[in-house]
C-alpha cells in the first residue's frame, strides 16, 4: 500500500480551504438554540469564579436603591439574612427598623449582638428623608421544567425568593396559582415569579384570581409599565425566549417594587370582577 504524500495532502487541503473562502464559507453561521428550549448554560455568565449575589443596586434600578446615603429602613417580616444585607448596604453600618417590623428569632439574635447598629422608628409610608429598601415580605417563585438560567437566578436571590412547594410540572399550575394568590392576599408574600415554557395558560389562570395582577415579562419596558400602571405583583417569564441577563433584570425590578394597585385601576378591576361574577 502506497504511503500518502504529506505535501500533497497539505496542498489539497489548502485548495479546499481557498475554495470555501471564495464561496463565502469562511464565516461560520451563528448557532442558535431551537425555539421552545431553555437557552441553558450557553447564555450564563462564566461560573468560575462565582459572582456574589446580584442585588437590585447592580441592575440600574431606581435611584432609591442604587446608592444609599442614609441608613436603610426595613419593614415586614425580617430574617437574619435581610439584617445582614441591610447592614452591608448602609453607609455607616446602621439600620432603622420600622415600628411594625417583625423579626425572626435569628434576626433578633443579630440585633442583640450589635444593638448600637439598630434603632426602632415609626416610619410613614411616604418617608422622604430616609431611603428605604424593599426588604418586606418574601416573593414566591415556581417553575415548570428545568433551566440552568432560572436555577442560577433564584439561587442568587434566595434571601428574597421562596420556592413554592409544588411539583414542577404543568398539572400543578392551578394549585400553585391558588396558593400564591392566598399568600399575597393575606400578606404572607409580596408577590410571585413564574418561570414557564409558555405563558398563555399561566396568564389566563393567574388573572382570574382575585388579588393577582400578573404581567408577561417579554421586555424591560413591559415590566416597568406593569409596575407603574397596574401595581403588578406577579411576573411571568418564558425562559425559552429570554436569557439569564434579561430574566435577572426583570426579576430584580419586581423585587425592588412595592406592589400597590393605583386607585383608578382598582375601580376598573372592581367593575370587571363584578361583571365576571
One-character DSSP codes across 213-253: -EEE-SSHHHHHHHHHHH---EEEEEGGG--HHHHHHHHHH
Q: In this model, does residue 23 exceed pLDDT 70?
A: no
> What is Dmax (Cα atoms) for the chain?
94
Identify the DSSP state of 142: E
Distance CA 190, CA 41 (A): 30
- The predicted structure's pLDDT at residue 122: 81
The half-sphere exposure of 127 on its side-chain side, counting CA atoms within 13 A, is 20
Q: List the domains of the chain with CATH numbers.
A: 56-121 (no CATH), 139-276 (3.40.1400.10)
Q: How far apart are CA 187 and CA 210, in angstroms?
A: 14
pTM above 0.85, yes or no: no
Residues 16, 167: Cα–Cα separation, whole Å: 54
Q: Which of 63, 58, 62, 27 is nearest to 228 (CA)?
A: 62
The band of 273, judged by pLDDT with boundaries at 50, 70 and 90, is: low
Indicate the helix (H) or strand (E) that contains 121: strand 118-121
Report the C-alpha gap between 210 and 273 in whole angstroms. Answer: 8
First-to-final CA distance of the chain: 87
Distance in angstroms (rounded) separating the CA atoms of residues 188 and 151: 23
Which is higher by pLDDT, 152 or 276? Answer: 152
Task: Select the more confidently predicted residue: 84 or 89.
Answer: 84
Higher-pLDDT residue of 273 and 203 is 203
Q: Which residue has the higher pLDDT, 277 or 140?
A: 140
The answer to whether residue 45 scores a pLDDT higher than 60 is no
C-alpha cell at 142: 415556581
pLDDT score recorded for residue 61: 35
The more confident residue out of 119 and 135 is 119
Average pLDDT of the segment spanning 175-183: 93
Amino acid at each position: 500500500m502506497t504511503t500518502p504524500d504529506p505535501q500533497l495532502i497539505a496542498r489539497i487541503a489548502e485548495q479546499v480551504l481557498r475554495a470555501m473562502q471564495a464561496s463565502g464559507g469562511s464565516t461560520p453561521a451563528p448557532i442558535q438554540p431551537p425555539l421552545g428550549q431553555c437557552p441553558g448554560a450557553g447564555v450564563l455568565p462564566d461560573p468560575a469564579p462565582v459572582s456574589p449575589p446580584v442585588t437590585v443596586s447592580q441592575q440600574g434600578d431606581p435611584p432609591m436603591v442604587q446608592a444609599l446615603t442614609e441608613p436603610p429602613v426595613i419593614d415586614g417580616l425580617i430574617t437574619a439574612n435581610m439584617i445582614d444585607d441591610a447592614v452591608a448596604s448602609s453607609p455607616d453600618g446602621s439600620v432603622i427598623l420600622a415600628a411594625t417590623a417583625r423579626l425572626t428569632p435569628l434576626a433578633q439574635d443579630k440585633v442583640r449582638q450589635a444593638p448600637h447598629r439598630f434603632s426602632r422608628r415609626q416610619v410613614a409610608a411616604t418617608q422622604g428623608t430616609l431611603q428605604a429598601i424593599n426588604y418586606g415580605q418574601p416573593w414566591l417563585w415556581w417553575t415548570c421544567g428545568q433551566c440552568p438560567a432560572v436555577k442560577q437566578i433564584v439561587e442568587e436571590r434566595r434571601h428574597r425568593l421562596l420556592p413554592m412547594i409544588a411539583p414542577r410540572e404543568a398539572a400543578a399550575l392551578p394549585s400553585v396559582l391558588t396558593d400564591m394568590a392566598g399568600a399575597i392576599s393575606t400578606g404572607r408574600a409580596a408577590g410571585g415569579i413564574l418561570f414557564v415554557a409558555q405563558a398563555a395558560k399561566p396568564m389566563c389562570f393567574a388573572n382570574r384570581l382575585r388579588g393577582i395582577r400578573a404581567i408577561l415579562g417579554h421586555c424591560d419596558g413591559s415590566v416597568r409599565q406593569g409596575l407603574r400602571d397596574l401595581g403588578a405583583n406577579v411576573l411571568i417569564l418564558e425562559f425559552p425566549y429570554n436569557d439569564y441577563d434579561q430574566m435577572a433584570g426583570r426579576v430584580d425590578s419586581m423585587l425592588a417594587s412595592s406592589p400597590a394597585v393605583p386607585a383608578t385601576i382598582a375601580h376598573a378591576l372592581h367593575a370587571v370582577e363584578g361583571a365576571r361574577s
